[in-house]
Structure 1
Amino acid sequence: MKRSRFTEEQIIGILREQESGQKTADVCRRHGISAATFYKYKAKFGGMNVSDARKPSALEDENARLKKLLAEAMLDNAMLKDVASKMVTPGAKREAAAHLCGAHGVSQRRGCAVLAIDRSSVRYRSLRSDDADLPEAMKKVAGERRRFGYRRIHVMLERQGIRKNQKKLRRLYREEKLQVRKRGGRKRALGTRRPMVLQGRTNERWSLDFVSDAFTDGRRFRVLAVVDDYSRECLALVADTSLSGLRVTRVISPI
């Protein structure tokens, strides 16, 4: 909207000159306005004082200020919903601030204020050396020594001339998921066992059991063994990575 070159006080002064008895044409000529503009001023400000004329302007300014605050609050709410995930690590906070600046077109200061983080943490750039070869060296040692933890891997790497902080080695050890699996305790049978009755001839009773082992690459496989209890003859020996109940039935039926 085009702003008038006269203030409210000046317009009311022009109207009062005409009300004091001067001709409208003379007043318009003196102030360089047209008659239509004069009557427009009179329709809007006629009979008003300076204080009355300032009230609508003050209300408009207050309304504009409230609209601006509401728009900023709605934008902050939209940005917070956009990054609703948890930001725990400094790296995640830097990524969230960069996303807000790029997606919503806000400044870095505004994005950091919305996320309640310090700008120094967003501007931080790591000066640490790149240890891209360290995880591969750890994997190689862990592949050769499968029961070694991060402390013993640290000793082996030092023997190879790779000297790193043990805490850093532990962090990489966890990130690469090289933890040694804990062996479960031995299961013990409860109660007393009855002695097994010996059989008098073959094919009177069979026993079957599964044997499990692993390949060098870590894949597990199982072996189904069927044995005659009297002659101790192995009637079937089937190996596979998976043996279902239907597969066991198909193996035993021909026997």
Structure 2
Amino acid sequence: MRRSQFTDSEIIHLLREADSGVPVGEICRTAQVSLRTFYRWRRRFGGLTAPAVMQMKELEAENRRLRSLVSNLSERLHAPLPGEMLHLPERATRSDTRLQPGRASMLAAERCGGAVVGRFASVRITR
């Protein structure tokens, strides 16, 4: 997505001008933006102040970071175990791409040093 040529504080300033009574058409002409862009800014930054916009940006950055962590963990969960042979079917179907039912419990059992018992449980073996 293309970056805006206006900073967040400039956008907030333009929105405050509109709130104070300056016609939106005049603001758009002087700032050289379309009405559609102005109303998109209003929908996004509506009644926010500068500190609230900074907090929103920080939350968006944290959200991106957490999404990447979840993505990495999901990839690790779907990766083959060290002892497994990786074989790719000639034609993958939708059911082939899902995680096998016993695989999650095998992963849990391997990580906690136990054995797989039943469908969902893993039991820790103590000696």
TM-score w.r.t. length of structure 2? 0.52
1:70/1:32 CA distance change after superposition, 3 Å: same
CA apart distance, 1:80: 5.4
| Structure 1 or 2: more helix by fraction | 2
Separation (CA, whole Å) in 2 of partners of 1:71 and 1:25: 44
Structure 1: runs of 5+ lacking an equivalent: 86-98, 100-255
Letter in 2 for 1:15: L
CA apart distance, 1:25: 2.1
Task: Name the counterpart of 2:69.
Answer: 69
CA apart distance, 1:2: 4.9
Q: Where in structure 2 are the equivalents of 1:1-255 lying within 5 Å?
A: 1-79=1-79, 81=81, 83-84=82-83
State the secondary structure of the residue aligned to 2:76.
Answer: helix
1:18/1:38 CA distance change after superposition, 3 Å: same
Percent identity, aligned pairs only, is: 33
Separation (CA, whole Å) in 1 of partners of 2:66 and 2:43: 29
State the secondary structure of the residue aligned to 2:48.
Answer: coil
TM-score w.r.t. length of structure 1? 0.29
**Residues 196-216 of structure 1: CA deviation (Å, up to 9, x unaligned):** xxxxxxxxxxxxxxxxxxxxx
Separation (CA, whole Å) in 1 of partners of 2:48 and 2:66: 27
1:78/1:44 CA distance change after superposition, 3 Å: closer
**Residues 157-183 of structure 1: CA deviation (Å, up to 9, x unaligned):** xxxxxxxxxxxxxxxxxxxxxxxxxxx
Number of aligned pairs? Answer: 86
Separation (CA, whole Å) in 1 of partners of 2:80 and 2:9: 46
> Once superposed, what is the RMSD of the aligned Cα atoms?
2.8
1:47/1:78 CA distance change after superposition, 3 Å: closer
Which has the larger Rg?
1
Separation (CA, whole Å) in 2 of partners of 1:77 and 1:52: 37
Separation (CA, whole Å) in 2 of partners of 1:31 and 1:72: 43
Letter in 1 for 2:28: C
1:16/1:75 CA distance change after superposition, 3 Å: same
Separation (CA, whole Å) in 1 of partners of 2:55 and 2:21: 28
Separation (CA, whole Å) in 2 of partners of 1:60 and 1:31: 27
**Residues 118-166 of structure 1: CA deviation (Å, up to 9, x unaligned):** xxxxxxxxxxxxxxxxxxxxxxxxxxxxxxxxxxxxxxxxxxxxxxxxx
